Structure 1
């Protein structure tokens, strides 16, 4: 596991929630579509990743209401267009809102296929697949 961490640019990212239980019901099945598991759970926070806590959903440390940031979103890696589609459909069924249906985006180039969703707390998330021939 140490070797994998040496290849990372970012240790982890965190988003706020106002309801840990509701966030777990949304994120645990949704991120499982991408092979991302709940790796740690606390009263105040959930940590997801692939063997290492990379994405945290937590109550704000300052005890104030969690809010989303304009211009902020978190993108997750998908391994196929089918994973992107499944991520999108499941997110909507779990209470997320569409912020961009699955598909290509001219502004990102030909290899890109992704979707954008707003979670129940108003945070913006994305799943994307980049088809690049080796």
Structure 2
């Protein structure tokens, strides 16, 4: 049996819970993920398990973004990366790097970067093993 992935889950805070959930419903669906858990003020997404949480901060203070922090999601194809980017822009996200090759990350790397409605930087990437 392979070892589990290094990360169990990641959480991102929001000051606009309903807007953030609408945004993440769309971008997670583009990556083949869905809501797998929900509590008042928190929703978890995953393909099977709760891997990515969107929530109001537990301490009740405002959520803020950290400079240099971003979350990268695996996509199954370039088309999923493209769909992720399109879904993000259609639901209030801001472009932070259009879909395309990222040759400085390797010839196989295809990704797109967006900012969610709270300004968090998220990415979808596909590793194209056939690219050289």
| TM-score bracket for the superposition, by shorter chain length | over 0.9
In the superposition, the TM-score normalised over structure 1's length comes to: 0.92
For the pair 1:123 / 2:116, whether they are aligned, the reply is: no
1:50 corresponding residue in structure 2: 47
* 1:57 shift after superposition: 0.6
Distance 1:119 1:13 in 2: 15
Q: Distance in 2 between matches of 1:7 and 1:71?
A: 26
Aligned counterparts of 1:104 and 1:86: Cα–Cα separation in 2: 15
Gaps of 5+ in 1: none
Structure 2 residue aligned with 1:98: 95
Q: CA deviation at 1:105?
A: 1.2
Structure 2 gap segments, 5+ residues each: none
Aligned residues: 130
| Residue in structure 1 matched with residue 78 of structure 2 by the alignment | 81
Find the aligned partners of 2:31 and 2:75 in 1 and give their Cα distance: 6
RMSD: 1.3
